[in-house]
Amino acid sequence: MAKSSSSSTLSATLPPLVAVLTLLLVAALPKAHAARAFFVFGDSLVDNGNNNYLLTTARADSPPYGIDFPTHRPTGRFSNGLNIPDLISQKLGSEPTLPYLSPELDGNKLLVGANFASAGIGVLNDTGIQFANIIRITQQLQNFLAYQARVSAMIGPDRTERLVNKALVLITLGGNDFVNNYFLAPITARRLQYSIPQFTKYVISEYRNILMKLFDLGARRILVTGSGPLGCVPSQLASRGANGQCASEPQQASALFNPQLVQMIQGLNQELGSDYFVAVNAMLMQNDFISNPRAFGFITSKMACCGQGPFNGVGICNPTSNLCPDRDIYVFWDPFHPTERANKIIVETIYTGSDKYMYPMNLSTIMAMDSMT
């Protein structure tokens, strides 16, 4: 009897009961499919290189950025190697998303998703004005709409809608609204306008509006990241900290911002009737290894690997900066951003963390649930 790859031919040549069982087994086999699309919005923690294409000082396109990237060259990521979106793409079993402004983002690459993030931006449009030409979050959402039009021209509106609805979305905002706006100088317009609690409440309300716009554009699985422990980054230790202690005002802002973000997301999900949004408590995640770095294999959570001045926290990382020989034992790569190894710990917590860190569920739970639909 000749072998056949057709299930109908196979059923015709087997006893009826065996044929039925065989067809059921064939139907139960997992169907080959591409990894779900992945979309990224936000600031320098998740920018994969959009700012390389802009006239701005908020760039990471010169050495030693990228020193531990597979190519050992700067890519525009604010990291010594991979950043958080890269590591989430690995969890999805997908290639990294390309920057939206990259000329390589075309054809089938569009179906992988896109990274719309831009270093320096915040929830508020006046955040990061010192960086001049950056892609503010309102423009990132406009770019997402334009992206959908491009994909729709390729695969049609119905398939595009399904691709977007089933995609994973990451949005990371908030830190710059404090560090590069409210606390930018001893006296700022926002400081004169708001107390820290008032400003935090305002940023949360504006963040909520952004999330609703993202939902209106079709996003349905959205990881929403708050700020890290802002007062403990090397830049703040150098400029505001006393005797190596975390700066009190930015820490107060983080301590207010992250719980309010979780509460806001709880309210949004209740209003919409489903757990579309997932709060990523970045402050608690990073506090673990900042407060006890040696428990995670780091030697320091105060000194940046690349920089100058106290704690290597002054200015920016550049080719003339001090550079540590072993990035894996530092929590911070530069005055503001985690090392690749710290990012790996963060993403592992996003993937498997308890509801202390991921509310109402972690990424592995999301992927397991969505694989059944």
- What confidence score (pLDDT) does residue 16 get? 44
Fold of 38-372: Rossmann fold (3.40.50)
Q: State the Cα–Cα distance between residues 313 and 335, nearest whole angstrom.
A: 4
In tens, the pLDDT along 251-284 reads 999 999 999 999 999 999 999 999 999 999 999 9
Whether residue 6 has pLDDT greater than 70: no
Cβ–Cβ under 8 Å, residues 290 and 301: yes
- What confidence score (pLDDT) does residue 84 get? 97
CA 52, 58, 63, 64 torsion-angle sign: negative
Q: Tell how far CA 162 is from the center of its chain.
A: 22
Q: Summarize the confidence of residues 63-69 as an average pLDDT.
A: 97
- What confidence score (pLDDT) does residue 237 get? 95
User: Using H for helix, E for strand and C for coil, what is the string for 227-267?
Assistant: CCCHHHCHHHHHHCCCCCCCCHHHHHHHHHHHHHHHHHHHH
Cβ–Cβ under 8 Å, residues 240 and 250: yes
Active site residues: 44, 334, 337
3-state helix, strand, coil in the chain (%, to 5): 50, 10, 45
pTM value is 0.89
For the purposes of burial, counting CB atoms within 10 Å of the CB of 367, is it exposed (0-12), middle (13-18) or buried (19 or more)? middle
